[in-house]
Each structure stands twice: as structure tokens, then as C-alpha cells.
Amino acid sequence: MSNIVYEAVNWNKSTSELAQVFWDQQWKQIWLPEEIAVSKDIKQWRNFEHQDTYKKVLAGLTLLDTVQTNIGMNRVVAFTPDLQEKAVLTVFDAFEAIHAKSYSYIFTTLCTNEEIDELFEWVKKNEFLQYKANKIADVYNSIEEDDPESLWKAMYASVMLESFLFYSGFFYPLYLGGQGFLRNSAEIISLILRDESIHGVAVGFFGQNLFKKFPLEKQEELKLWGYELLLDLYQNEMNYTDDVYAETGLSPEVKAYVRYNANKALMNIGFDPMFPEEEVNPIVMNGIRNEGSTYDFFSQKGATYAKAKVAPITDDTFNFNR
Amino acid sequence: MKTYLKLNNDVLNRYSTTGQLELEKDQEATRRYFLEYVNVRLRYFIDLEEKISYLVDEGYYEKEFIDMYEMEFIKHLYKKAYDYNFRFPSFMSASKFYDSYAMKSRDGEEILEKYEDRIVIIALYLAQGNKDLAERSVEAIMEAYQPATPTALNSGKKARGELVSCFKLSMDDSMNSISENIGYCLELSRLGGGVGVNLTDLRPLGDPIKEILNRASGVMPVAKLLENSFSYSNQLGQRNGSGVVYLNIFHADIENFISSKKPNADDKIRLATLSTGIIIPSIFFNLMKRDKDIVLFSPYDIFKEYGKRMSEVSISEMYYELLDNPKIRKIKRLNARKLYTEVKKAQFESGYPFEIFDDNVNDVHPLKNIGRVKMSNLCTEILQVQQTSLITDQDEPNEYGLDVSCNLGSIDIHAATKVNDFGALVDTAMHLLTNVSQMTNIKNVPSVVKANKLMHSVGLGCMNLHGHLVTEEIMYGSKDSVDFMDHFMEAMNYYSLQSSMEIAKANGETFYRFEDSDYATGIYFDQYVNEVEKELSPVVLKALGNIPVITPKMWETLKQDVMQYGLFHSYRLAIAPTGSISYIRSCTASIAPSTERVEVRDYADSRTIYPMPHLTNDNSHLYVEAYDVNPYDLIDLYAASQKHVDQGISMTLYVTDNWTTEQLAKVYIYAWMKGIKSVYYVRQRLQSLEECVACQI
């Protein structure tokens, strides 16, 4: 039997600057795919010209979320020293699993079993998709005990995945949803996106704290490594976009969106953006702002209700200074 | 890619990145929308005669009402409408009209009506051959009056839905009544209606059936049946039927009822699409204030013991009697504060339940001698007396009571301050609503037919308050805004009473049991004739524009007239939440604050960006957003309006997620203290992560 002294997580004493904030925010926005009536999209789906692109986009996202659930968050959790941050990342991991499952929920609603099987075969065969999965997973798998450098690299990879690589896929449902097409599937995507943006900010923030502790020389070296990885992934992303979006004519717009998000990913990890600012399709941009949009009560489930903060009613509740 | 959608989206995109509003983009979007979408689909007609005869011959318009007028007169009305040179002020208004309201060919390809055409048809149809009314209606609708969606949408069309779309039903504690009412719900839902059903009178879970205890299943399974009925019957899939169920907070099933809307509720009780509302008597608040427990009752016991349904008694008056009576079971004791905290939790997590403050409604109910108001409708603004039908076995005739169909219209406040004769505007609106009520025949729901014939109830409301306040540089929620609404609604009340009296006088007919109402005794008018005239600030006077300030003397005269001639309508005013119709007219919704300066509106089928009416780069500070309005100021404004409204006002509360349940409870308690009758949704804005992190670091 080993003789390690195990420590219990003590939430009464803050050990991480923002762990509590990230924890609260993630739980506040809890959701499950079954709450959204994707079946309402079936009518439009039947006559949809670019079914193939749409399916592949979602299948690609499924793979990324699977990698993130099974390897990414898992590995980062295992090696993150702070117990509160560990807890937050474990919660994130659970949400990644919900995300991966929710694409299947869309597939089950819209596609036949045969189509679905073909799609998962396609995932295994698509070289660009496999390339990015491998590239990211390799970084995750290289984390070593008591090696903050390898841990930071994994956090960097995680931010790249969540704030950058997902967006070539997110583009399409947002683009269509903003035009009133497959709105319910788009709503699922916008809920996923809402989670991913916390994950990107949080892991980026934890990463930045780690980064600060490295000597300057090391920082420079890691920066270089980071930009190189990003460029490598970016090249692959361009090819992936051409491959998947070829028949829609949307490639240039998707690429602009990918660059926009690459910049955001860099900012999350505390680096300067590298692509010049350019215009992104406003419909897709507005697709992200799902908070506070106004729903009428014949529409789908709004994304705006959250967990309550409970406080007891007291005598003072009945006093008004008016 | 539709360029107009891109342009329209650009408005928000620029606004949220730079804070600058580029209204030209929205106008350009509207222009492109006409070029790319509307004009290419608009069917061309040589002249008006050809147009009308085509639409009649092809079975798009009903023939009967067109035949009531000469062609010359119809031409005259069209010219009158077109002479207003109407232009859609926003992409939202244009797209909403052409997407949802304009008559289209059966295959949906051709557009057959423009905005002015629709309005003339509404006027001709509702005026039923009365040329004077038709002419006044075109003026009123072009200028400041908007009939509710079902009326605006369906008037004059041959294949059409009903002119009204909102109903209230009372369910009795018997299987006959349950199944009869589910049948009604299916029928009304088929017509596209929203239906409110009162479940307060049903015996709770575990109550006896035929004297054997633990047999009844309670209200939740009935609610589930209703939910399924509404989703089954959905106007050819165009829109899902919708409904709300109400329950008294002293009903033994209340705990399950409150939890039923939570996303994590047990599947057996979870209501996914059905709305819920609770009826709260004042005694509940009084017990809560003293930190007491409340006792839950069974309507079964109350009926057995007193021969009255639970909804027919005032729980506030009866509470201690019920406690003391050994034959009334005390089914459960709950701490009032804890229970109300559960209500607040549910509201944070789902927006539901709505709340109706029972005694605030019934204490000032002008028809209190005729009966109690037991519930509300889907938007919590309709508050009318009902009488439960006795549904018997199939071999005996039913004894029908009174249920409600609501027939609504709204006045654009901003436009109304500019019309020459506000009294005439209200009068025209009242006539149009009256005709809708007389043309409505919901034949499959006899209790609604009966009430419609006897009660002639209508619901005139208003919208565009926030838009108007912005043009007058008045802050929403300020004292000036409260004073403005106080006077505006007093004038609406006065002229609607005047109009109803004139109609009663002309028809020689009043609503059923007028003589038992507070109008007949004159009691209703006490609040006005004894009122001390108040000094109004110049800002408020200017904002009122052409709307007269009503004096106690004018009220005295009206009081005498009403007591002599009676009133035609049992109910006149109700302020609805106004969704689509305010978009078409580029108005802000109801008397509510706007939720965003540039709104993102998601309907089931599209996302549209809508800069608020009258918003410019210079006045955006006046458009304080609903979540930033002090909720107590908002309640003061609604309370000032509510004094003059015989029914209710649909009031939404706006909170952010850093509120606690206690803060929310406090706001509701304040609303109850101020005499508010009902609270509709609680809307919540989730703070974004940026905001959360920003206030932490």
C-alpha cells in the first residue's frame, strides 16, 4: 500500500482566483439536448440541398468533443495541481460529454441509421480531421508528472481546440440558423458555443497563471512553440474547410471566421492576435449572442433561464423605504 | 444569401462593436427586401376593381361584406388609405407584415395585398356595411389603432381562422367536466387559440373518489392531458396550440404544481410547453409576513361542506373558518416563506408560474355582485367573471355557465397623442371591438357563446409607451412617466366608458346584470368624482399632446349618464403584451420597457434585428433597458395605470442572474402591496462571462 497524504478540496478557502466564478457560471447554464425540439427541423431538412456538408460538419465536431472529453480535459484535470481548478475542469469535462452526445441527438432526429454509420466511417477516414485530432491529442498525451511546461502546452492546445478549431464547424449551423433555417439545431450549437467560450476563457486563464511563473527565456520559447502549432493547425483548417464546404461556396467566409476565432484563442491564452482584422458575416456573429435575445412563447426553449440563488425571506423582505 | 438579412444583421453587429447605430443599414435592408422579395412576388392588377373581383372570384376574400358597399365607396377608402403615404419604418415591420399578415396565394408564391389593402379590408369587414364606421376605421387604423393579430390577420378572408384567439375555461371536479373541457381545448387550439383553464376546483392527489380515500390522481395528470391536447391540435402545424393552467396556492397539489416547470422536474409531473399560474389570496401574504405556516385544503371538502367550489369562495375571508371546521381536512402544513421561496426558485429557473393576486383583483372588481374573477388567461391581462358549467351525463342536457373569449385591440400611445380627437379614436376602437365580439361565434364551446351574447366583453389596451417617452425625453419609470400613464389611462377609461354608454343607449341594451354592477350604483365613479385635481408638470402636459385631462366634473356627468343608460360592455380595458402587432407598427411592446435598444428577435422561423422605434445615436441614453429599470419604479408605473383598467395589465418583471430569490420575492410583495393584479413572466438576463469576470478582477 502506498503512503501518500491525500488532501480534501476545501471550497471554504479560495486557492484559485476565479475557480468559483467559472464553476458558478458553468452550472448556471446547464442544459440538455433533449430540451430542444430538433424534430421541428425535420421538414426543412428533407428538402435541404447541402445535407452532406451539414452532416460532416457535425460529425467533425463530434470527434473534437470526443477527444476533448476522453483525453483533453481528463489529462489536464489529472495534472492540474489546484484542487478547485481540478473540480472546475471535471465539470467542464462532463459538459464536453453532453456536447458530444448532443450531435448524436441531432443525427438521430434527422438522419437514418445507415447515414449515421457512414458518417462515423467518414470521420475515421478524413485526413484533415484526423490530423487535427492527432495533433491536439499528442500534446495532451505528452503531459508529464511535475512538468509545468508540458501542462501549459496541454492547456494551450485545449484553448486552441475550444476557441479556434471548433469554429469551422460552428459556422454552418449559425449561418443557416440566422436565416431561419434549421433553427433548433442551431440553438443546440449556440448552447454548446456558450459553454465552449467559458472553457476557452477558463483554461486560458489557468494557463496564463502558469505561464507567468516561467522564466522569460522559457516564455519566449513557449510562445514560439505556440504560434508554430497554431500555424500548423491553421493550414490544416484551411484544407479541412475547403474539403467540407466545397459544394456550398462558403469557404472564404468560413475561413475569415476561423481567423477571427484564432485571434480570440490567442487572446484567451494571453498572446497577441496574429491575423489582421477582417469582416465576418454579421449573421454568424449575431448567432453567438444568444444571451438575452427575446423569445416569444411559441418559440423554442430560450437559452436565458438559469439556476436560482436562494436566500430566505425574512421580516426585512416586507420593509420598503419608498 | 439574402442581402437584406445581411444588412439587417449588420445593424446589430456594428452597434455591439462600436455603439453606433447605423439606421441607414436597416433602411437599406428594407429597400432591398422590397426589391428582392416583395416586389417580385406582388401580383399586378390593372385597377382596384380587377383586384377586388379577382380576390373575391378566386375565393380569397369573402363576397358578402364586399357586396355591402358600392365600388365607388370602396375606391374612396382605398384612396384615403393610400393618401397617408405609409412607409415601413424598419425592416422588422416590413418583414413581419409580409411574412405573417399579408394575403398570399395558396401556394405561398404571390403576395396579393399591401399594407393599406389589409387595413381597408379590416375596416370594411368589421364595419359590416356601416359606411361611416368603415371610413372612421380606416382613419383610426392608419393613424393609431391596431386590432389584435387574429382580427388583423383573418378579417375578410374566406379561408380563415377566428377573429379572437384567447379563451378562459372553468373546469369542474367531475370526469364529465374534465373530458368536456379537454374537448373544448382541442377545438379552441385547432382555431389557434391560447386557452386558460382553472384547475383549482379539482380534488387533489389522494383524495377520495366515491368516499374511498386515496383514489384521486390530482391536478397534475389533468394538466398533462391538457398539454398533450394543445400540442396535438396545432392549426395545420402552423403554430402549436398553447395553454395555461391556474391553481390556488392553498390547493393541496400546489407543491407539485409549482415545481412542474423546472427543467429538472420529474417526468411524470413536468410540463414542458404548458404555462402555469398561481392564484394568491392576500391572506397568504399576511401569513407570510408573520412567518406563519399555511394550511392546504381540498376543494372536495369545501364543496361538500359549503356547497361552493374552492374558486367561488374568497380564501382570505374563509381561511380561519376552514381551519376551525373539523370537517375540512388540513391536508398539509407548509411554512409560507419557504413555499414562496420555492415559487421564486421556479420562476428563476423557468419564468413560471405567473401570479394572480386574488384580492387585488376581486376587491376592485366592478362586477363583484355578479361573481368572482377566478383566474386569468395566457397573458394574465384578462380578468373576467366566470360561471362553471354543469356537465352532465350524455343522456341529460348540460347547464352552461359563462366562460370567456377575449377580443383585443391596442392604441399606439405615441400616435394617439397626435390625433385630433382622442375620444373619437377610442370610440371607433370600441365599435370595432364590439363588432368583433358580435361576429364571433365559437359554436363548439357553448359557455363561450353564451357569455359572448350576454356580456359583450372587450379588451382595449395600448402600446408604444417607451417609444413615446423617448420622443418626449422622459425616462421610463420616472415620476413624469408615472403621471403620464396615470392620465393617459384615465382618459382611456373615461372615453371607453362614454363609448360603451353611448352604444348601450343607441342599442337599448346593456350587458347582463348591469343593474347589479358598481357602475349602476355609481360606486365605481367615487374614485374619480371625489378626486382632487392635481397639478401636472409641463413635461407631462406636453407629452399628453391632444389627449384631454379629464376633470371630476366630466366624471360626474358621465356617472349620471352611465347610471341612466347603462353600459353595453361588461369589461372594456385590458393591456396585452402586444408582440407581433407592435413590430408591424414599429411600436415598443405594451407599456413595458424595451429589453434591448437593438433587439434580437428569435421567432421559430427567423432571426431579425430590430432597433427600437425612434432610437437614434443621440437619444440612446433615454432607452434605458428593462433590466436596468428599477423594478419598483416599473411597478409604480403599472400600478398607476392599473387603477384605471377594469381588467388587468400583462406585466413582465426583468431580473439578472445575480438576483436572489429573496430579492425577487420582495419585488412581488411590493407589487401586491401596490394593488397590481397580476404578474406575467419573470424574464432573466444571464450575465455573460465577461461581465462576471470583470466585476471579480
DSSP letters spanning B357-378:
EHHHHHHT-TTTTT--B----T
Tell me whether residues B659 and A177 touch, CB distance under 8 A. no
Closest CA in chain B for residue A179: B606
Checking if the pLDDT of A1 tops 70, the result is yes
Mean pLDDT of A182-207: 89
Tell me whether residues B661 and A309 touch, CB distance under 8 A. yes
Residue showing cell 520559447: A221
How would residue A302 be classed by pLDDT, with cut points 50, 70 and 90? very low
Over residues B8-58, the pLDDT tens digits come to 888 887 777 777 888 889 999 999 999 999 999 999 999 999 999 999 999
What CATH number should be reported for the domain whose range is B40-161+404-580?
A: 3.20.70.20
Q: Are B168 and B356 in contact (CB under 8 A)?
A: no
Q: Is B275 on the interface with A (CB under 8 A)?
A: yes
Torsion sign (Cα): B186, B152, B92, B29: positive
Residues 316-375 in B contacting A (C-alpha not used; CB under 8 Å): 337, 340-341, 344-345, 347-351
Checking if the pLDDT of A265 tops 80, the result is yes
How would residue A297 be classed by pLDDT, with cut points 50, 70 and 90? very low
B9 catalytically annotated: no
What residues pair up with A53 in beta bridges, in sequence order? none
Which chain A residues contact residue B595 at CB under 8 A? Answer: 292, 294
| Reduced 3-state DSSP string for B113-176 | CCHHHHHHHHHHHHHCCCHHHHHHHHHHHHHCEEECHHHHHHCCECCCCCCCCEEEEECCCCHH
Which chain A residues contact residue B275 at CB under 8 A? Answer: 297
- The cell for B115 is 399594407
Cβ contacts below 8 Å, chain A against chain B, sum to 162
- The cell for A320 is 420598503
Tell me whether residues B663 and A311 touch, CB distance under 8 A. yes
Of B13, B603, B661, the CB nearest to A285: B13
Question: In this structure, how many other beta carbons lie within 10 angstroms of the beta carbon of residue B223?
Answer: 24
State residue B265's pLDDT score.
66
- The cell for B647 is 381588467
State residue B691's pLDDT score.
47
Tell me whether residues B605 and A183 touch, CB distance under 8 A. yes
| Within-domain flag for A31 | no
Of A18, A21, A282, the CB nearest to B13: A282
- The cell for A124 is 475515421
Tell me whether residues B349 and A308 touch, CB distance under 8 A. yes
Q: What contacts B564, CB < 8 A, 6 or more positions away? A: none
> CA B250 to CA B319: how far, in whole Å?
10
- The cell for B222 is 389533468
Tell me whether residues B686 and A177 touch, CB distance under 8 A. no
Which chain B residues contact residue A314 at CB under 8 A? Answer: 662
- The cell for B505 is 343607449
Which chain A residues contact residue B682 at CB under 8 A? Answer: none
Q: Is A40 on the interface with B (CB under 8 A)?
A: yes
Tell me whether residues B660 and A311 touch, CB distance under 8 A. yes
Q: Is B673 on the interface with A (CB under 8 A)?
A: yes
> CA B461 to CA B578: how far, in whole Å?
9
The distance between the two most distant Cα atoms of chain A, rounded to a whole number of Å, is 69
Q: Which helix (H) or strand (E) holds A119?
A: helix A113-125
State residue B695's pLDDT score.
40
* Interface residue of A30, A194, A318 to substitute, partner B, most B CBs within 10 Å: A318
Q: Is A47 on the interface with B (CB under 8 A)?
A: no
Tell me whether residues B604 and A306 touch, CB distance under 8 A. no
* Interface residue of B580, B598, B602, B633 to substitute, partner A, most A CBs within 10 Å: B602
Residue B457 C-alpha from the chain's centroid: 14
Mean pLDDT of A173-186: 89
> CA B637 to CA B591: how far, in whole Å?
9
What residues pair up with B74 in beta bridges, in sequence order? none
Tell me whether residues A294 and B602 touch, CB distance under 8 A. yes
What residues pair up with B61 in beta bridges, in sequence order? B157
Vertex B182 angle, CA B180 and B183, to 5°: 65
Residue B634 class from Cβ within 10 Å (0-12 exposed, 13-18 middle, 19+ buried)? buried
Checking if the pLDDT of A303 tops 80, the result is no
Residue A267 class from Cβ within 10 Å (0-12 exposed, 13-18 middle, 19+ buried)? middle
Tell me whether residues B340 and A313 touch, CB distance under 8 A. yes
- The cell for B454 is 350576454
Which chain A residues contact residue B656 at CB under 8 A? Answer: none
Residue showing cell 347589479: B516
Backbone angles phi, psi at B358, to 5 degrees: -50, -50
Q: Are A25 and A303 in contact (CB under 8 A)?
A: no
3-class secondary-structure state, position A83: helix
> CA A28 to CA B348: how far, in whole Å?
11
Closest to A305 in 3D by CA, of A19, A18, A35: A35
HSE, CB side, 13 Å, CA atoms: give it for residue A232: 14
Q: Is A288 on the interface with B (CB under 8 A)?
A: no
State residue B472's pLDDT score.
96
Q: Is B692 on the interface with A (CB under 8 A)?
A: yes
B381 catalytically annotated: yes
State the smallest CA–CA distance between residue B36 and chain A in angstroms.
15
Average pLDDT over all residues of chain A: 88
| Within-domain flag for A11 | no
State residue B697's pLDDT score.
35
Q: Which of B139, B187, B227, B381 is catalytic?
A: B381
Distances (CA, A) of B402 to A43, B30, B203, B385, B573: 41, 47, 22, 8, 19
Which chain B residues contact residue A198 at CB under 8 A? Answer: 689
The separation between the first and the last C-alpha atoms of chain B, rounded to the nearest angstrom, is 42
Closest to B659 in 3D by CA, of A179, A309, A235: A309
Number of residues that this document lists for chain B: 697
- The cell for B86 is 405609409
Which chain B residues contact residue A292 at CB under 8 A? Answer: 595-596, 600, 627, 685-686
What CATH number should be reported for the domain whose range is B168-363?
A: 3.20.70.20
State the smallest CA–CA distance between residue A282 and chain B in angstroms.
5
Query: In degrees to the nearest 10, what's the CA dihedral of B209, B215, B219, B223?
Result: -110
Helices (H), B545-608: 552-565, 580-584
Q: Which helix (H) or strand (E) holds B692?
A: helix B689-696
Q: Is A310 on the interface with B (CB under 8 A)?
A: yes
Structural domain of A85: 49-292
Distances (CA, A) of B477 to B465, B472, B634: 11, 14, 5
AA letter at B386: Q
Q: Are A194 and A290 in contact (CB under 8 A)?
A: yes
Mean pLDDT of A11-23: 86
State residue A301's pLDDT score.
40
| Within-domain flag for A306 | no
Residue B685 class from Cβ within 10 Å (0-12 exposed, 13-18 middle, 19+ buried)? buried
- Say what the ipTM of the complex is: 0.88
State the smallest CA–CA distance between residue A221 and chain B in angstroms.
29
Q: Is B284 on the interface with A (CB under 8 A)?
A: no
Tell me whether residues A300 and B604 touch, CB distance under 8 A. yes
Strands B275-280 and B293-296: unpaired
> CA B261 to CA B272: how far, in whole Å?
7
Cis check for the bond before B150: say yes or no (omega within 30 of 0). Answer: no
3-class secondary-structure state, position B523: helix
Checking if the pLDDT of A2 tops 90, the result is no
Closest CA in chain B for residue A281: B6
3-class secondary-structure state, position B196: strand
State residue B269's pLDDT score.
76
> CA A168 to CA A57: how far, in whole Å?
8
Closest CA in chain A for residue B16: A286
Q: Are B341 and B665 in contact (CB under 8 A)?
A: yes
State the smallest CA–CA distance between residue B578 and chain A in angstroms.
11
Q: Which helix (H) or strand (E) holds B1?
A: none
Q: What are the strands, taking DSSP E only, across chain A? A: 294-295
Which chain B residues contact residue A317 at CB under 8 A? Answer: 662, 665-666, 669
Q: Is B291 on the interface with A (CB under 8 A)?
A: yes
Of A32, A297, A308, the CB nearest to B345: A308
Closest to A246 in 3D by CA, of A57, A80, A59: A57
Domain with CATH 3.20.70.20 in chain B: 40-161+404-580, 168-363
Q: Which helix (H) or strand (E) holds B194?
A: strand B194-198
Closest CA in chain A for residue B230: A298
Distances (CA, A) of B333 to A168, B115, B235, B295: 57, 58, 44, 5
> CA B692 to CA A209: how far, in whole Å?
19
Q: What contacts A265, CB < 8 A, 6 or more positions away? A: A159, A160, A162, A163, A164, A200, A204, A230
> CA A281 to CA A275: how far, in whole Å?
17
Q: Is A291 on the interface with B (CB under 8 A)?
A: yes
State the smallest CA–CA distance between residue B230 and chain A in angstroms.
12
> CA B450 to CA B457: how far, in whole Å?
12
What residues pair up with B145 in beta bridges, in sequence order? B411
Q: Are B356 and B343 in contact (CB under 8 A)?
A: no
Q: Is A179 on the interface with B (CB under 8 A)?
A: yes
* pLDDT beneath 70, residues of chain B: 1, 234-241, 263-265, 602-606, 686-697
State the smallest CA–CA distance between residue B580 and chain A in angstroms.
9
| Within-domain flag for A198 | yes
Distances (CA, A) of B379 to A96, A296, B118, B650, B651: 38, 12, 26, 6, 9
Residues 131-190 in B contacting A (C-alpha not used; CB under 8 Å): none
- The cell for B27 is 433602411
Tell me whether residues A310 and B345 touch, CB distance under 8 A. yes
Closest CA in chain A for residue B607: A178
Which CATH number is A250's domain given? Answer: 1.10.620.20
Count the domains in chain A. Answer: 1
